[in-house]
Every structure is written in C-alpha cells, then in structure tokens.
Structure 1
C-alpha cells in the first residue's frame, strides 16, 4: 500500500471510530427502592398497533403489549462530555392538546406538529437529569404538566413512562390524566443521544476522500 492509500485508510478508520457511540443517557429512579417495570396496558393504541400507519402514530412500532416500561423514573445524562440529543414526535391518542418542552420551550405540539417531526440540540450540561417535560391544554384550560427533573411522573397521575429501545435510545409515553384511560399513549416522543463529531476527525476524513478523488482523476488522465 503506497503512502497516499495509507493516509486515506487511516483517515477513514479514524473517521468511523470517531463517530462510534458511547453511553450518554440512562434512566434513574425517583423512588427508593426503585419501582419495578410494569406491563404495557392492552389498550395502549401505539403498543397494539392502532393508527400505525393511520394518522395517530408514525411507524415503525418499537414496543407492544408484551413489553414493560418504567414509571417513577427520569432520563439523566451519564456523561460529562457534550453530546447530541435528538427528539422525534411519534404521535398521540388524546383529546387534550399536548406539548413537549425542552428547557422550558415548546418543541412539539399534538395539534400542529407533523408526525416524525424532529428537534436536535447539543447538550453540554454534564451529569444530571435532562430538562424536558410535558404539558396539556384541555380546550383552552390548563390540564397539567410533568417535568423530567422532578419526581412527579408517577402512575395514577399526570405522568410518563419510559421504554428503552436500545443504548442511548428511549421512548417517552405520556398519560395526561384525563381520567378516561390510564394507558400512556396520549403523546409519544423518542429521544436519542449520540456523539458530537469532532471537527478534526471530520476534516481528516474529508482529506482522505479528497485524496481518493484526486487519485481517481489522475488515473483517468493516464
């Protein structure tokens, strides 16, 4: 392998390794002892596939009624390094208008946000609970709210459950305490954490790709 190709291979390897994920977020219990996982209610429309597709939720379906979720837990940063957070609106089954908020600002609204809408932000706050939450409006009147930073996401009240899809990948499912049901499908938001690409790594990868282009151009001329 000549010097150019060695450099390109090194850049590619470093680029791929620089994009590898690590653990950035995880669940923390809000009670002691921690509440055990609970089964997903059979009338949870997302879990039983109602409205996927069909206007209520966007697919694919990540959990069903055979799975378990966490109540009385929050999502917290477990890394002191900055990382990227991406939130995705998966849908809703509720008469109330629900909102998802990050650091006090509305990100998604069940009345106006399109299914699959996303929001990304770089988190650099270190260890601790993430600052997001839900609130609902009942035909012009405030209905309730819950913060991930508190301990109020308890079963039987305005709360949300947490389903772990994979490492750094969770689904938050709201129960807006409408008294009609208690099945955690009133608003669903997915959250993923990922590594922030380092500028030096990206530049090195770009240099390697540029080298490939130059070499291919030279071959064509020859």
Structure 2
C-alpha cells in the first residue's frame, strides 16, 4: 500500500465515521461560516465605498467558537473510536428494557423499536429542521443589515451612516443572529443525539446573552430614546427576556 492509498483509506474511514445527520449538520455550519465571512467582506467594501470613518468597540467573543469546536471535535473523536458519548444513558435504558422481560416480550420489542426510531430517525430530523431555521434566520438578519454588519459594535463618525435597523426580522427580534447561533448549536446537539453536544448551545446562550446586554447598552448610548422605545417593544431573543 502506497502513501496515496493510505491517505484515501484514512479519509474514507474518517468520512464514514461521521453519522449522516452530523454530516448534514457540519455542512450547515460551513454555510453559516461562509455567510459570516461574506458579511465581513461586504462591510469592509461598503465602508470603503462610502469613505466612512468608524470606531469599533470589541463585542466579539471568540471563546464560544473555540469551546464549541472543541466540544464537537471531542464528540466526533469518540465516535471515530467507536465510543458512544451516551453509553451511560444507553446502559440505563438497556437495564430498563431487561426489566420488561419479566412483563412481556411484546412490550419489550415495542419499547426497543420506539427507542431505535427516536434515536435513528426522529431526533436527527428535528435537529436538522432546527438548524435550517437558524440558518434562515441568520440569512434574513444579514440581508437587513446589508453592508453594515460587523462582529464588533461600530460607531460611525458621520451620523448619516449611523442608523438603527428595526425592519424585517429586527422588528421581531433585537438579536436574531445570536438566536440563530443558538439554534444551530442546539440543532447540532439534537441531530447528533449526544448529551455531550448539549454543552455547545448552553455555552453559546450564556456568552451571547452577555454580548447582547453589552450591545444594548452601547446602542442606548448612541440612539438614546429611539433605542429605548425599540427595546421596550421588541424582544431580545423571542422570549421577552429583559
């Protein structure tokens, strides 16, 4: 076996070691990252086009990406080494099924069939639907912001360029991009049917809630009563959390 064949076999092993729902989930994350990169470049181009001078206040926290990637990678490594992250829970379920042996073999079979259907088909489908919805939300938010998207809070020297976006999806949510990130992470955990992956949306929620509060404070200083009125009438994340 030459080196090229070894590389090809290794790649095949890595590829087929990824469950199909997670393959789709990873692809959706790739689309989201591509959208993120495009929006950044669009903002740079737009700033040059209008010759805008701006000050950026850091509100971008890369820790959630690093932690998120670490959790996803750890989950995937366990799968590659044929270790199920849910082994403890699965063992408990198997014990429960064994107890049912004393009641009825028919009941046991139905229990096992429902469990397999839930893990193999139902949960992954629900997770991917959630991810599609999150990706759609991110795209709608980027469309409203257009060339004025930036991971940091931007203050333009020319106040004509400083506008509060309240139309489109921003008429229903103040921070739809943060919500979309949570939905993508939560959908990944559901699609992967992994308790380990549930740490991903939890961490994103905690970090982005903090970022949203900081952003609200900055926007209130910039736009004053206009933003206060907007904040009082539109939810931060859809749950009317103040």
Which range, TM-score by smaller chain? under 0.3
Q: Which has the higher contact order (CA 8 A, sep 6+)?
A: 2
Rg: which structure is higher?
A: 2
Larger helix fraction of residues: 2
TM-score, normalization by structure 1: 0.22
Larger strand fraction of residues: 1
TM-score, normalization by structure 2: 0.20
